[in-house]
Structure 1
């Protein structure tokens, strides 16, 4: 079996300028899934292939490694994570052919992501793209300390993935396109875990210590920015011909939930500075005649009242108005009598919230109303603003799509 695996690895990384053959990848996946032999020998072969001066050989070796990370037994990535060093390709450049310059850039970016993927496994002792999701999943049930350790690791891995940054016209080459497909699968699963972790963190926010609130606020701000970047990444996938039904729609919420979180932190730190780093803006404001300044329990109750669908709920627009009217609040309207949600040019989404009509505002004291981002496989054009899914089924959905990608 070791000999056959070696032959398959060599066949998958030839100098022929096309993506690794499906048969060779299947043979290697079967090898690490069904045998008890060490994966070290296979990893050594692929690692040596990345030392080639040919961009074709190096790129195909990286694609093969990534394929085994995604589809192979976890012991493969565990072995890579245990290595002292993995890919040292930050200076790689193939000058022998004209295409080598452009492809070398992607090789450097791609190898960095694979390094970060392995490092993330070492830091959190699991492959976050394969953990159980949903109400009983890993990210939904982490305690605060572990969340504050895990979410930055996910952020770093996602940053490395999104730095691949290929344009549609750069994905015509079969090898780089194969890498992009694998990155797309990782991005969906990685962001699903990221989203669930943020839901969990927001649910714990008003019971946290001051230092934990500060960390959580920063994490949420970064989460908004990465959601916008992922939206652009997914748009490229649509443009290169990947079936639209296999691409989820991300609805980006405005930044103003940050203000509510900031107000709570300010009450702990006696600071009131607030900055929205993600550049999202909107024109809907909620008039709030009263803001509690009492203890955390009172602030948490106020938060739940004013953000009724922040986490796991879907009230009707009428219920939202009833909740707002409870405290004498209302939503400002445009000339047509409806609200007008919009995003600035820095954020691109596949779905924009529709207007929710309501009475004109008689109040002058206003505060922005917003909710966390939503991730859903379906378009939310007819949904109320700020909808957050109760059960995020993206992972199962993405798995169903993986065979067609």
Structure 2
């Protein structure tokens, strides 16, 4: 028997009547079942972001609406689904999120329906902050650090010093917001938080590769910089060293 509640079925049925297949898929991805969003619903939504006739703002609004639910399960799954689409969907999805003035307003979210609700609410507040930061850094950079080319001829490695000095603090801000999720292995107790953690883990590996490329570029161009720029570059390098420990601690959780 399915773990969907009557509320889940009614919500999905409402969208069936109004004819919005995308909204129905969002509802099905964000049911009260304590498990990560089902792959078939995520795949459907990814495909939808590539269809020119699909209304991206409407899709995002349905996700934001699900994130106003009182249940930690529904809210957490709405965040996981949004993150999944930011990573795997057509770039116009993250572009739209970046163009909005407000995204997730969950800094006071609290599900009081049990001890599990209290525990998970903490991670929901942290996770929503990271997703807001991810969209904000896209707005500032006009690209997603996790999606750009890495390595010797990558974006951060070939960036001009002036732009690099402006970009690195933005990247650092995104990495900091991710590290603040701060989960321990014994707290990965259900399929929903596990799905969120896996997306964060993969983002961190890509973000850190960018960060590393940026630092290499800074060090290579250090002696070509003006005095003020050198000071900024040293500050960025110092912050990089302190974050290395925190990054390795976060990655250890996945072992």
Q: Same fold (TM over 0.5)?
A: yes
> Which whole-Å CA distance do the structure 1 matches of 2:92 and 2:243 have between them?
30
| Structure number, greater radius of gyration | 1
> Counterpart in 1 of 2:62?
45
- Output one character per residue of 1:75-126: Cα deviation in whole Å (capped at 9) or x when no partner: 0000001011001101110101221100000000000000000000001110
- Return the structure number with greater helix share: 2
Alignment of 1:94-133 (within 5 A): 94-133=111-150
Mapped to 2, the partners of 1:199 and 1:95 lie a distance apart of: 47
RMSD over aligned CA atoms reads 1.2
Superposed displacement of residue 191, structure 1: 0.6
SS across alignment from 2:172: helix
Match of 1:230 in 2: 247
1:153 pairs with 2:170: yes
| Structure 1 segment 2-401 matched on structure 2, within 5 A | 3-238=20-255
Query: 1:299 aligns to what?
Result: none
SS at match of 1:215: helix
Aligned to 2:8: none
Aligned residues: 238
1:271-320 alpha-carbon deviations (Å, 9 max, x no partner): xxxxxxxxxxxxxxxxxxxxxxxxxxxxxxxxxxxxxxxxxxxxxxxxxx
Whole-Å separation in 2 of the counterparts to 1:181 and 1:233: 11
Deviation at residue 213 of structure 1 after TM alignment: 0.6
Secondary structure of 1:130's partner?
Answer: coil
Structure 1 stretches lacking a partner, 5+ long = 239-405
For residues 311-344 of structure 1, give each alpha carbon's deviation from its aligned partner in whole angstroms, at most 9, with x where no partner exists.
xxxxxxxxxxxxxxxxxxxxxxxxxxxxxxxxxx
Q: Give the distance between the partners of 2:82 and 2:162, measured in 1 at CA.
A: 32
Q: For 1:95 and 1:78, how far apart are their aligned partners in 2?
A: 34
Q: 2: CA distance between counterparts of 1:195 and 1:38?
A: 37
What is the CA distance between 1:133 and its match in structure 2? Answer: 1.7
Per the alignment, residue 13 of structure 2 pairs with: none
> How far off is 1:135 after superposition?
2.1
Give the Cα separation in 2 of the matches to 1:121 and 1:184: 19
